[in-house]
Structure 1
């Protein structure tokens, strides 16, 4: 009897093989992987093997530095190099130049772990070159394209690098009070960058993902927000804490007001969006906590540092590194279970880290639980995205 109909199951397309050219195509590929890997490894070292941190940059100074400049700032640089290519049509760094930038980052991470001064200086020079190279490359593409609204971004990256130099110099001086002030300066420089980027991309992402959603971009309030943040940086440098506190409070209030105007309830069913809203909310609250710290109402810097850093930056980052990676890799803008689990783990890690600051008998156990959730969250991201980031876009394979 003749076969009239033959039905075959669809065969999943074979993914393209890993490719160095693709891996070094845009800044987000190596730097997202490097930053998220270091987020997990550095917390693993800090919580479970602190005895290994014996270099000149050791102990809590190493932990604070590596969280801010080794992890958070690295993701920011990767995002900005990638976004810069979209803003200007000119790819700031790719190929061997991007590989060299990543090598500078790696040199810094290894050098700070070496238990002698030579390793410290090598790491400090490599890291300074990392921020300077990223700022110059981004600035060259922005100024060449006459992208005037982005002229300030390379300056902010240079400011972040300069704050890092001041922090490292203070480490060698051994002045703990000044070290806290330098860390605060770097934290605020990073906050200004995060606010600038998030205020642009969150409304854009939300209106693209939710049908009929129309939310304001808040350009005017964003200018006031940026101005207040820069003013707070200047007042911190001048060591006028009452004025810095007022500027921080204004920045935080504007951030929370913007978030409410973005209609957060409308994105509750879209994980790629609500994770960004949660991070932006935590950043705004963290700035208000920082204002309270500047006023002397919150005695410990650990509170604003962890509300802004763990609850604000880290939650924004786990959302950004998934949403932007999916977009630039040509993948569907949908989450799967592993991504949502990573979101939940990072949020839990932030909440537990704040709980560990409370003076209770369970503080150490809560801290270890926070570290475990943090490591698992970023490990899930790496497990899900590493195979994608080392391969060409599926729609570009030859």
Structure 2
């Protein structure tokens, strides 16, 4: 019996259903964090209309950048890696105390950090310390799993581990930012988190999983995922981050990425995926990437002519268009499959997903219209996301603390 299956037999019948699979607690913590942070951002936007702020300890834009990068996605990644990673590697996943302790520490750190936005720097540092402990524990657990594996193919796992180490470096930059109030450290944190950590992890998971899922559904499709594609995508992401730090022109990199990612979306059969909603959710999310880098390219070319336009539209095409909609697609799939329910998108889930696409388009479009329209649209999109996440989470929550619907262990 493999290490992975041995673990499944040992822990999958734990008396507490919440501890029967590693993803349950982490996904639950991720939902709590997402709702908390989106509610906080909505409240901050409402406060701006009265000329006040809810985050006197730190400028709200800086706090928003940190929380949106580190506050939601790593918790869901934790659940995915603790569940799928060991299966990829045929290794024993972390024991219950580890996959309980890591997301609890990360969520606790986010709660303390969020409170610290009003109470002061000491709380911010305590929150960041607790979160950093959890984040480090996640890396240590995954690396232990990786190094104990005898699987023949581990490249995806090594890339993910390296990206998480860059994410940890981003937390180090966040410490410098908080201790010295150094804006340069904040930009380093932002670029490490976005271009060194989050985008490489998402791209690596997509490279491994999207062709596989498509081959299972689309008749006659043979998985296309050459390693050169992954290396080119990762190289482009890292190059963008380095160019951003060096403040040199980015548009040649972005143009190449737009073409590559557009071709990849076509080669992965975006159009054919639309016949199966659960698969279409993944492909539609990925389709935001060529749009994002096309916007970055245009922004760079116009900036070279002295024209400052688009604002944060390209950035939000990645963070909201790609990251958030892909998160909903992947978490929905994992939650359905691992709760013993059919891999079928309900009408409600499909409507919610389409709403996320509309909200992402609105947030991107905000950067393309006159500034006078920005405040109401920011608030509309934030409240829209809060409501969608609440409705989406309500449909998933019971699957985390109840036994599998099919009666199987896990």
TM-score (ref. length: structure 1): 0.86
Distance change in 2, residues 1:91/1:344 (3 Å):
farther
Equivalent in the alignment of 1:226:
234
- Residue 8 of structure 2 corresponds to none
- CA-CA distance at 1:383 after TM superposition: 0.9
For residues 146-180 of structure 1, give each alpha carbon's deviation from its aligned partner in whole angstroms, at most 9, with x where no partner exists.
34322232121111121132134224433445523
Conserved? CA contact 1:356–1:364, under 8 Å: no
Contact kept in structure 2, 1:19 and 1:390, CA below 8 Å: no
Provide the aligned length of Structure 1 versus Structure 2: 379
Task: Report the secondary structure of 2:343's partner residue.
Answer: coil
Which residue of 380, 388, 396 corresponds with 1:369? Answer: 380
Name the SS of the counterpart of 2:71 in structure 1: helix
Q: Secondary structure at the match of 2:287?
A: helix
- Take 1:106 and 1:55, find their aligned partners in 2: how far apart are those partners? 22
Q: CA RMSD in A?
A: 2.6
**Residue 42 of structure 2 corresponds to which residue in structure 1?**
47
TM-score (norm 2): 0.84
Who is 1:153 aligned against?
160
8 Å Cα contact 1:356-1:363 kept in structure 2: yes
Report whether the alignment pairs 1:268 with 2:274: yes
Match of 1:65 in 2: 66
Moved more, 259-268 or 225-234: 225-234
In the other structure, the counterpart of 1:109 is 110
For the Cα contact (< 8 Å) 1:348–1:373, is it kept in 2? no
Structure 2 segments unaligned to the other structure (5+ residues): 1-12
Does 1:217 find its partner at 2:225? yes
Deviations, residues 109-139 of structure 1 (Å, cap 9, x unaligned): 1211221222111111112122211111111
Q: Residues 349, 91 of structure 1: CA spacing in aligned structure 2 closer, same or farther, 3 A cutoff?
A: farther
Tell me the CA shift for residue 58 of structure 1.
Answer: 4.9
Q: For residue 370 of structure 2, what is the aligned residue in structure 1?
A: 359
1:23 to 18, 22, 32: 18
Equivalent of 1:165 in 159, 163, 172: 172
- The residue number in structure 2 matching 1:311 is 321
**1:310/1:177 CA distance change after superposition, 3 Å:** same
In structure 1, stretches of 5+ residues that fail to align are: 1-17
Q: CA deviation at 1:97?
A: 1.6
Alpha-carbon contact 2:362-2:381 (below 8 Å) kept = yes
Residue 9 of structure 2 corresponds to none
More divergent stretch after superposition (280-289 vs 177-186): 177-186
The one of 139, 142, 145 aligned to 2:146 = 142
Instruction: Please give the residue correspondences for 1:7-22 in structure 2 after superposition, counting only pairs within 5 Å.
Output: 21-22=16-17
Structure 2 distance, partners of 1:185, 1:292, is 23
For residues 292 and 173 of structure 1, what CA distance do their matches in structure 2 show? 35
1:194 to 186, 202, 205: 202
Give secondary structure in 2 for the equivalent of 1:396: coil
Q: How much has 1:53 moved relative to structure 2? A: 3.6
User: Does 1:74 pair with 2:78?
Assistant: no
